[in-house]
Amino acid sequence: MAVRVIKEKCKGCGKCKKVCPFEAITIENKIAIIGDGCTNCGQCVESCKFDAIEQDKDETKVDLSAYKGVWVFAEQRAGVITPVVIELLGEGRKLADAIGTELCAILCGDDVEKLTKDLIAYGADKVYLAEAPELKDYNTDAYSKVIYDAIDKYKPEVVLYGATHIGRDLAPCLAVKAATGLTADCTVLEIDPEDKKIKQTRPAFGGNLMATIVCPKTRPQMSTVRPGVMAKAEYDKKHKGEVIKLKVKFGKNDIRTKVLEIVKSKGNKVSLTDADVIVAGGLGIGSKDGFKLLKKLADKLGGTIAATRACVDAGWIDHAYQVGQTGTTVKPKIYFACGISGAIQHVAGMQNSDIIIAINKNEAAPIFEVADYGIVGDLHKVIPEILEALK
Protein backbone atom coordinates (compact mmCIF):
# COMPACT_ATOMS: atom_id res chain seq x y z
CA MET A 1 0.00 0.00 0.00
CA ALA A 2 1.49 3.32 -1.06
CA VAL A 3 -0.75 5.39 1.28
CA ARG A 4 -0.64 4.72 5.04
CA VAL A 5 -2.43 6.04 8.10
CA ILE A 6 -0.18 6.83 11.06
CA LYS A 7 -2.38 5.44 13.82
CA GLU A 8 -0.76 7.52 16.58
CA LYS A 9 -1.66 10.75 14.78
CA CYS A 10 -5.14 9.83 13.50
CA LYS A 11 -8.04 11.41 15.41
CA GLY A 12 -10.75 9.55 13.51
CA CYS A 13 -12.29 12.83 12.30
CA GLY A 14 -13.38 11.23 9.01
CA LYS A 15 -12.36 14.11 6.75
CA CYS A 16 -10.22 11.82 4.59
CA LYS A 17 -13.18 9.48 4.16
CA LYS A 18 -15.24 12.33 2.74
CA VAL A 19 -12.65 13.41 0.20
CA CYS A 20 -11.67 9.98 -1.08
CA PRO A 21 -13.18 9.77 -4.60
CA PHE A 22 -12.90 5.99 -4.57
CA GLU A 23 -14.68 5.33 -1.25
CA ALA A 24 -11.55 3.47 -0.18
CA ILE A 25 -11.49 4.75 3.41
CA THR A 26 -13.49 3.46 6.37
CA ILE A 27 -13.28 4.62 9.98
CA GLU A 28 -12.96 1.77 12.43
CA ASN A 29 -12.48 2.31 16.17
CA LYS A 30 -11.77 5.99 15.45
CA ILE A 31 -8.92 5.16 13.09
CA ALA A 32 -8.96 5.61 9.30
CA ILE A 33 -8.42 2.36 7.42
CA ILE A 34 -7.37 2.44 3.78
CA GLY A 35 -8.88 -0.39 1.74
CA ASP A 36 -8.05 -2.20 -1.48
CA GLY A 37 -9.94 0.37 -3.60
CA CYS A 38 -7.18 2.93 -3.01
CA THR A 39 -5.64 4.19 -6.25
CA ASN A 40 -2.90 6.19 -4.55
CA CYS A 41 -4.39 9.45 -5.82
CA GLY A 42 -3.15 11.33 -2.75
CA GLN A 43 -6.25 13.43 -2.07
CA CYS A 44 -6.63 12.15 1.49
CA VAL A 45 -3.00 13.03 2.29
CA GLU A 46 -3.66 16.68 1.61
CA SER A 47 -7.00 16.67 3.43
CA CYS A 48 -5.70 15.48 6.82
CA LYS A 49 -5.06 18.40 9.16
CA PHE A 50 -3.15 16.14 11.55
CA ASP A 51 -0.58 14.87 9.02
CA ALA A 52 -1.82 11.39 9.83
CA ILE A 53 -1.62 10.06 6.28
CA GLU A 54 1.64 9.49 4.47
CA GLN A 55 2.27 8.49 0.90
CA ASP A 56 5.26 6.71 -0.59
CA LYS A 57 7.18 9.29 -2.49
CA ASP A 58 8.95 6.79 -4.76
CA GLU A 59 6.86 7.77 -7.74
CA THR A 60 7.57 11.46 -7.30
CA LYS A 61 11.29 10.80 -7.24
CA VAL A 62 11.36 10.43 -11.01
CA ASP A 63 13.70 13.09 -12.36
CA LEU A 64 11.44 14.47 -15.09
CA SER A 65 14.24 16.61 -16.51
CA ALA A 66 16.19 13.46 -17.49
CA TYR A 67 13.62 12.65 -20.18
CA LYS A 68 13.96 14.17 -23.65
CA GLY A 69 12.46 13.63 -27.09
CA VAL A 70 9.15 12.59 -28.59
CA TRP A 71 9.11 8.99 -29.83
CA VAL A 72 6.76 7.29 -32.24
CA PHE A 73 6.45 3.52 -32.35
CA ALA A 74 6.96 2.81 -36.07
CA GLU A 75 4.65 -0.17 -36.38
CA GLN A 76 5.34 -2.24 -39.48
CA ARG A 77 3.61 -5.31 -40.77
CA ALA A 78 5.30 -7.54 -43.33
CA GLY A 79 7.83 -4.78 -43.94
CA VAL A 80 5.24 -2.05 -44.58
CA ILE A 81 4.83 0.93 -42.24
CA THR A 82 1.23 1.18 -41.02
CA PRO A 83 -0.52 4.43 -42.07
CA VAL A 84 -1.11 5.60 -38.48
CA VAL A 85 2.68 5.94 -38.02
CA ILE A 86 2.68 8.78 -40.56
CA GLU A 87 -0.11 10.47 -38.63
CA LEU A 88 1.83 10.02 -35.38
CA LEU A 89 4.94 11.54 -36.98
CA GLY A 90 2.82 14.54 -38.04
CA GLU A 91 1.46 14.97 -34.51
CA GLY A 92 4.80 14.11 -32.90
CA ARG A 93 6.49 16.85 -34.90
CA LYS A 94 4.05 19.43 -33.51
CA LEU A 95 4.63 18.25 -29.93
CA ALA A 96 8.42 18.10 -30.37
CA ASP A 97 8.57 21.59 -31.90
CA ALA A 98 6.38 23.01 -29.13
CA ILE A 99 8.86 21.92 -26.46
CA GLY A 100 12.02 22.27 -28.56
CA THR A 101 13.01 18.62 -28.61
CA GLU A 102 13.71 15.98 -31.24
CA LEU A 103 11.26 13.66 -32.95
CA CYS A 104 12.35 10.01 -33.04
CA ALA A 105 10.90 6.78 -34.37
CA ILE A 106 11.55 3.34 -32.95
CA LEU A 107 11.38 0.58 -35.54
CA CYS A 108 11.52 -3.16 -34.83
CA GLY A 109 11.58 -5.98 -37.37
CA ASP A 110 13.85 -8.19 -39.41
CA ASP A 111 15.53 -6.66 -42.44
CA VAL A 112 13.56 -3.41 -42.13
CA GLU A 113 16.40 -0.87 -42.34
CA LYS A 114 15.09 0.26 -45.74
CA LEU A 115 12.07 1.75 -43.93
CA THR A 116 14.22 4.20 -41.96
CA LYS A 117 14.58 6.41 -45.07
CA ASP A 118 10.82 6.99 -45.20
CA LEU A 119 10.54 7.58 -41.45
CA ILE A 120 13.20 10.28 -41.74
CA ALA A 121 11.47 11.81 -44.77
CA TYR A 122 8.27 11.92 -42.71
CA GLY A 123 10.08 13.97 -40.07
CA ALA A 124 12.00 11.67 -37.71
CA ASP A 125 15.28 13.27 -36.59
CA LYS A 126 16.47 9.89 -35.30
CA VAL A 127 15.34 6.34 -35.94
CA TYR A 128 16.17 3.73 -33.30
CA LEU A 129 16.39 0.49 -35.26
CA ALA A 130 16.12 -2.98 -33.72
CA GLU A 131 16.58 -5.88 -36.14
CA ALA A 132 16.49 -9.59 -35.32
CA PRO A 133 14.72 -12.68 -36.68
CA GLU A 134 12.69 -12.76 -33.44
CA LEU A 135 11.27 -9.31 -34.34
CA LYS A 136 10.10 -10.25 -37.84
CA ASP A 137 6.45 -10.61 -36.75
CA TYR A 138 4.96 -8.80 -33.78
CA ASN A 139 5.49 -10.63 -30.52
CA THR A 140 4.60 -8.97 -27.21
CA ASP A 141 7.57 -10.33 -25.26
CA ALA A 142 10.16 -9.62 -27.92
CA TYR A 143 8.95 -6.14 -28.86
CA SER A 144 8.33 -5.01 -25.29
CA LYS A 145 11.78 -6.16 -24.17
CA VAL A 146 13.61 -4.36 -26.95
CA ILE A 147 11.57 -1.16 -26.69
CA TYR A 148 11.66 -1.08 -22.90
CA ASP A 149 15.47 -1.45 -22.95
CA ALA A 150 15.62 1.51 -25.36
CA ILE A 151 13.24 3.60 -23.22
CA ASP A 152 15.31 2.81 -20.15
CA LYS A 153 18.53 3.82 -21.89
CA TYR A 154 17.48 6.86 -23.93
CA LYS A 155 14.65 8.15 -21.70
CA PRO A 156 12.10 9.67 -24.09
CA GLU A 157 9.73 12.26 -22.68
CA VAL A 158 6.77 11.09 -24.77
CA VAL A 159 6.02 7.81 -26.60
CA LEU A 160 3.12 7.60 -29.07
CA TYR A 161 1.62 4.40 -30.44
CA GLY A 162 -1.18 3.83 -32.95
CA ALA A 163 -4.32 2.46 -31.29
CA THR A 164 -4.09 -0.57 -33.59
CA HIS A 165 -4.34 -4.16 -32.36
CA ILE A 166 -0.56 -4.19 -31.95
CA GLY A 167 -0.33 -0.75 -30.33
CA ARG A 168 -3.13 -1.62 -27.89
CA ASP A 169 -1.24 -4.74 -26.86
CA LEU A 170 2.25 -3.27 -26.70
CA ALA A 171 1.65 0.11 -25.04
CA PRO A 172 0.07 -1.16 -21.77
CA CYS A 173 2.81 -3.73 -21.43
CA LEU A 174 5.48 -1.02 -21.77
CA ALA A 175 3.62 1.31 -19.42
CA VAL A 176 3.77 -1.35 -16.71
CA LYS A 177 7.44 -2.11 -17.37
CA ALA A 178 8.32 1.61 -17.29
CA ALA A 179 6.03 2.22 -14.27
CA THR A 180 4.34 5.12 -16.02
CA GLY A 181 0.88 6.14 -17.16
CA LEU A 182 -0.82 5.43 -20.47
CA THR A 183 -3.85 7.11 -21.99
CA ALA A 184 -5.53 4.87 -24.51
CA ASP A 185 -7.39 5.84 -27.64
CA CYS A 186 -6.57 9.56 -27.67
CA THR A 187 -8.22 11.80 -30.23
CA VAL A 188 -6.49 15.08 -29.31
CA LEU A 189 -2.99 15.76 -27.94
CA GLU A 190 -1.77 19.16 -26.77
CA ILE A 191 1.43 19.98 -24.93
CA ASP A 192 2.16 22.72 -22.43
CA PRO A 193 5.44 24.29 -23.60
CA GLU A 194 6.27 25.34 -20.01
CA ASP A 195 5.84 22.16 -17.96
CA LYS A 196 5.92 19.79 -20.99
CA LYS A 197 2.87 17.89 -19.82
CA ILE A 198 0.72 16.44 -22.58
CA LYS A 199 -3.01 16.96 -22.31
CA GLN A 200 -4.38 13.70 -23.70
CA THR A 201 -8.04 13.84 -24.68
CA ARG A 202 -10.14 10.73 -25.26
CA PRO A 203 -13.81 9.78 -25.20
CA ALA A 204 -15.06 8.55 -21.82
CA PHE A 205 -18.32 7.17 -20.41
CA GLY A 206 -19.42 5.57 -23.66
CA GLY A 207 -18.42 8.62 -25.65
CA ASN A 208 -20.76 10.96 -23.79
CA LEU A 209 -17.86 12.95 -22.34
CA MET A 210 -14.38 13.85 -23.49
CA ALA A 211 -11.79 13.34 -20.72
CA THR A 212 -8.46 15.18 -20.72
CA ILE A 213 -5.74 13.29 -18.88
CA VAL A 214 -2.21 14.26 -17.83
CA CYS A 215 0.63 12.15 -16.50
CA PRO A 216 2.21 14.54 -14.00
CA LYS A 217 4.68 12.47 -12.03
CA THR A 218 6.19 9.79 -14.21
CA ARG A 219 7.87 9.54 -17.60
CA PRO A 220 7.59 8.76 -20.43
CA GLN A 221 4.12 10.11 -21.06
CA MET A 222 2.46 7.49 -23.23
CA SER A 223 -0.59 7.58 -25.46
CA THR A 224 -2.19 5.35 -28.02
CA VAL A 225 -3.77 7.45 -30.75
CA ARG A 226 -6.74 6.51 -32.87
CA PRO A 227 -5.84 5.90 -36.51
CA GLY A 228 -7.38 8.39 -38.91
CA VAL A 229 -7.69 11.26 -36.42
CA MET A 230 -4.43 13.18 -36.79
CA ALA A 231 -3.15 14.82 -39.98
CA LYS A 232 -0.43 12.89 -41.81
CA ALA A 233 3.16 14.21 -41.87
CA GLU A 234 4.40 15.64 -45.15
CA TYR A 235 7.02 13.60 -47.03
CA ASP A 236 10.20 15.62 -47.38
CA LYS A 237 13.08 13.83 -49.10
CA LYS A 238 15.48 16.57 -47.99
CA HIS A 239 14.86 16.07 -44.26
CA LYS A 240 17.96 14.61 -42.61
CA GLY A 241 18.03 12.11 -39.78
CA GLU A 242 20.25 9.64 -37.99
CA VAL A 243 19.78 5.87 -37.66
CA ILE A 244 20.83 4.40 -34.31
CA LYS A 245 21.11 0.62 -34.31
CA LEU A 246 20.05 -0.99 -31.05
CA LYS A 247 21.82 -4.08 -29.73
CA VAL A 248 19.26 -6.88 -29.64
CA LYS A 249 19.90 -9.99 -27.58
CA PHE A 250 17.30 -12.36 -26.19
CA GLY A 251 17.78 -14.73 -23.26
CA LYS A 252 16.34 -18.25 -23.31
CA ASN A 253 13.23 -17.27 -21.35
CA ASP A 254 12.65 -13.79 -22.75
CA ILE A 255 10.15 -14.86 -25.41
CA ARG A 256 7.36 -17.08 -24.15
CA THR A 257 5.25 -17.33 -27.29
CA LYS A 258 6.01 -18.27 -30.86
CA VAL A 259 4.12 -17.18 -33.99
CA LEU A 260 3.53 -20.41 -35.93
CA GLU A 261 1.55 -19.03 -38.83
CA ILE A 262 -0.19 -15.83 -39.88
CA VAL A 263 -3.60 -16.56 -41.39
CA LYS A 264 -5.27 -13.75 -43.30
CA SER A 265 -8.95 -13.14 -42.58
CA LYS A 266 -11.20 -14.28 -45.40
CA GLY A 267 -13.72 -11.52 -44.63
CA ASN A 268 -14.40 -8.54 -46.84
CA LYS A 269 -11.41 -6.26 -47.09
CA VAL A 270 -12.27 -2.66 -46.48
CA SER A 271 -9.91 0.19 -45.80
CA LEU A 272 -12.02 2.99 -44.43
CA THR A 273 -9.02 4.92 -43.15
CA ASP A 274 -7.52 5.27 -46.64
CA ALA A 275 -10.76 6.21 -48.45
CA ASP A 276 -11.08 9.74 -49.83
CA VAL A 277 -14.85 9.46 -50.16
CA ILE A 278 -17.12 7.55 -47.79
CA VAL A 279 -20.85 7.09 -48.29
CA ALA A 280 -22.13 5.92 -44.93
CA GLY A 281 -25.58 4.62 -44.16
CA GLY A 282 -27.60 4.42 -40.98
CA LEU A 283 -30.89 2.78 -40.10
CA GLY A 284 -32.59 5.37 -42.33
CA ILE A 285 -31.55 3.35 -45.40
CA GLY A 286 -34.38 1.02 -44.42
CA SER A 287 -32.83 -2.39 -44.99
CA LYS A 288 -29.69 -4.23 -46.04
CA ASP A 289 -30.61 -3.47 -49.65
CA GLY A 290 -30.26 0.24 -48.96
CA PHE A 291 -26.48 -0.21 -49.18
CA LYS A 292 -26.88 -1.02 -52.90
CA LEU A 293 -27.97 2.57 -53.53
CA LEU A 294 -25.15 3.91 -51.36
CA LYS A 295 -22.66 1.74 -53.24
CA LYS A 296 -23.78 3.27 -56.54
CA LEU A 297 -22.90 6.72 -55.22
CA ALA A 298 -19.64 5.48 -53.66
CA ASP A 299 -18.60 3.78 -56.92
CA LYS A 300 -19.42 6.89 -58.91
CA LEU A 301 -17.13 8.97 -56.66
CA GLY A 302 -14.37 6.35 -56.32
CA GLY A 303 -15.17 5.82 -52.64
CA THR A 304 -16.40 3.15 -50.29
CA ILE A 305 -19.52 2.54 -48.24
CA ALA A 306 -19.60 2.54 -44.43
CA ALA A 307 -22.23 2.16 -41.73
CA THR A 308 -23.39 3.00 -38.24
CA ARG A 309 -23.29 0.46 -35.47
CA ALA A 310 -27.07 0.18 -35.62
CA CYS A 311 -26.76 -1.27 -39.15
CA VAL A 312 -24.03 -3.65 -38.01
CA ASP A 313 -26.14 -4.74 -35.03
CA ALA A 314 -29.08 -5.31 -37.37
CA GLY A 315 -26.90 -7.73 -39.36
CA TRP A 316 -27.09 -5.57 -42.51
CA ILE A 317 -23.30 -5.20 -42.91
CA ASP A 318 -20.02 -6.45 -41.49
CA HIS A 319 -18.41 -4.71 -38.50
CA ALA A 320 -15.39 -3.87 -40.69
CA TYR A 321 -17.57 -1.10 -42.19
CA GLN A 322 -18.56 0.47 -38.87
CA VAL A 323 -17.52 4.05 -38.25
CA GLY A 324 -17.45 5.42 -34.73
CA GLN A 325 -16.19 5.02 -31.24
CA THR A 326 -16.30 1.23 -31.32
CA GLY A 327 -15.58 1.05 -35.04
CA THR A 328 -13.09 2.85 -37.24
CA THR A 329 -12.21 6.53 -37.06
CA VAL A 330 -12.14 8.08 -40.51
CA LYS A 331 -11.00 11.35 -42.05
CA PRO A 332 -11.98 11.28 -45.73
CA LYS A 333 -12.21 14.30 -48.00
CA ILE A 334 -15.98 13.81 -48.27
CA TYR A 335 -18.23 11.92 -45.84
CA PHE A 336 -21.85 11.36 -46.82
CA ALA A 337 -24.00 10.54 -43.77
CA CYS A 338 -27.19 9.05 -45.19
CA GLY A 339 -30.05 8.25 -42.81
CA ILE A 340 -27.74 8.65 -39.83
CA SER A 341 -29.07 10.43 -36.74
CA GLY A 342 -25.66 11.67 -35.53
CA ALA A 343 -25.25 9.92 -32.18
CA ILE A 344 -22.12 11.06 -30.34
CA GLN A 345 -20.55 7.61 -30.67
CA HIS A 346 -20.89 7.78 -34.45
CA VAL A 347 -19.82 11.41 -34.72
CA ALA A 348 -16.66 10.63 -32.69
CA GLY A 349 -15.47 8.53 -35.63
CA MET A 350 -16.19 10.90 -38.53
CA GLN A 351 -16.26 14.48 -37.26
CA ASN A 352 -12.76 15.24 -38.58
CA SER A 353 -13.76 14.51 -42.19
CA ASP A 354 -12.91 17.44 -44.48
CA ILE A 355 -16.49 17.86 -45.77
CA ILE A 356 -19.55 16.26 -44.21
CA ILE A 357 -22.75 16.02 -46.25
CA ALA A 358 -25.76 14.81 -44.29
CA ILE A 359 -28.98 13.52 -45.83
CA ASN A 360 -31.76 13.03 -43.32
CA LYS A 361 -35.51 13.43 -43.45
CA ASN A 362 -35.62 14.86 -39.94
CA GLU A 363 -34.39 18.45 -40.02
CA ALA A 364 -33.72 18.32 -36.26
CA ALA A 365 -31.35 15.33 -36.51
CA PRO A 366 -28.11 16.05 -34.59
CA ILE A 367 -26.03 15.05 -37.62
CA PHE A 368 -26.82 18.46 -39.11
CA GLU A 369 -24.85 20.06 -36.26
CA VAL A 370 -21.60 18.60 -37.59
CA ALA A 371 -22.50 18.71 -41.29
CA ASP A 372 -21.02 21.25 -43.71
CA TYR A 373 -23.93 20.62 -46.09
CA GLY A 374 -27.32 19.36 -44.97
CA ILE A 375 -30.01 17.95 -47.24
CA VAL A 376 -33.38 17.47 -45.57
CA GLY A 377 -35.19 14.75 -47.45
CA ASP A 378 -35.73 11.08 -48.13
CA LEU A 379 -32.40 9.56 -49.10
CA HIS A 380 -34.14 7.20 -51.52
CA LYS A 381 -35.10 10.29 -53.53
CA VAL A 382 -32.09 12.50 -52.83
CA ILE A 383 -29.33 10.00 -53.74
CA PRO A 384 -30.81 9.12 -57.17
CA GLU A 385 -31.00 12.86 -57.85
CA ILE A 386 -27.33 13.29 -56.90
CA LEU A 387 -26.43 10.35 -59.16
CA GLU A 388 -28.41 11.91 -61.97
CA ALA A 389 -26.67 15.25 -61.46
CA LEU A 390 -23.25 13.54 -61.44
CA LYS A 391 -23.96 12.05 -64.85
The binder of 359, among ligand SF4, ligand FAD, none, by C-beta within 5 to 8 A per type, is ligand FAD
The binder of 339, among ligand SF4, ligand FAD, none, by C-beta within 5 to 8 A per type, is ligand FAD
Q: Which stretch binds ligand FAD (CB under 6 A): 56-64, 213-221, 261-269, 357-365?
A: 357-365
Q: Which one, 220 or 282, has the nearer CB to ligand FAD?
A: 282
Sites of contact with ligand SF4 (CB under 6 A): 3, 5, 10-16, 20, 22, 24-25, 32, 34, 38-44, 47-48, 50, 52-53
The binder of 42, among ligand FAD, ligand SF4, none, by C-beta within 5 to 8 A per type, is ligand SF4
> Shortest approach of ligand FAD to residue 278 CB, angstroms?
13
Backbone angles phi, psi at 381, to 5 degrees: -100, -40
- Is residue 380 close enough to count as binding ligand FAD by CB under 6 A? yes
The residue sitting closest to ligand FAD, measured at its beta carbon, is: 324
- Is residue 283 close enough to count as binding ligand FAD by CB under 6 A? yes
| Residues paired with residue 306 on neighbouring β-strands, in sequence order | 280
- Is residue 227 close enough to count as binding ligand FAD by CB under 6 A? no
- Is residue 295 close enough to count as binding ligand FAD by CB under 6 A? no
Tell which one of 310, 330, 370, 386 touches ligand FAD (CB under 6 A): 310
| Residues paired with residue 304 on neighbouring β-strands, in sequence order | 278
The binder of 38, among ligand SF4, ligand FAD, none, by C-beta within 5 to 8 A per type, is ligand SF4
Q: Which stretch binds ligand FAD (CB under 6 A): 169-177, 219-227, 255-263, 341-349?
A: 341-349
> Shortest approach of ligand FAD to residue 264 CB, angstroms?
24
Q: Which stretch binds ligand FAD (CB under 6 A): 84-92, 114-122, 146-154, 309-317?
A: 309-317
The binder of 140, among ligand FAD, ligand SF4, none, by C-beta within 5 to 8 A per type, is none
> Shortest approach of ligand FAD to residue 211 CB, angstroms?
15
Footprint of ligand FAD on this chain (CB under 6 A)? 206-207, 282-284, 308-311, 322-327, 339-341, 343, 345-346, 349, 359-362, 365, 378-380
